[in-house]
Structure 1
Amino acid sequence: MSINAVDITLMGRSYSIACPAGQEKALRLVAHNIEQQLTQLKGRTNSLSREDLLVMAALNIGHELLTEKQKNQDYMQQMDQRILLLQSTLEQALVERSDRAD
Structure 2
Amino acid sequence: MSTNAVDITLMGRSYSIACPAGQEKALKLVAHNIEQQLTQLKSRTNSLSREDLLVMAALNIGHELLTEKMKNQEYMEQMDDRIRVLQSTLEQALVERSVSRD
TM, length-normalised to structure 1 = 0.99
**Unpaired runs of 5+ in structure 1?**
none
SS at match of 2:14: strand
The Cα RMSD (Å) is 0.3
Residue 29 of structure 2 aligns with an amino acid whose one-letter code is L
**Is residue 2:91 matched to residue 1:96?**
no
Partner of 2:69: 69
**Unpaired runs of 5+ in structure 2?**
none
| Runs (4+) off by over 4 Å | none
Counterpart Cα distance in 2 of 1:20 and 1:7:
13
Partner of 2:59: 59
Counterpart Cα distance in 2 of 1:76 and 1:45:
39
| TM-aligned CA deviation for residue 78 of structure 1 | 0.2
Partner of 1:81: 81
**Is residue 2:44 matched to residue 1:41?**
no
Q: How many residues align?
A: 102
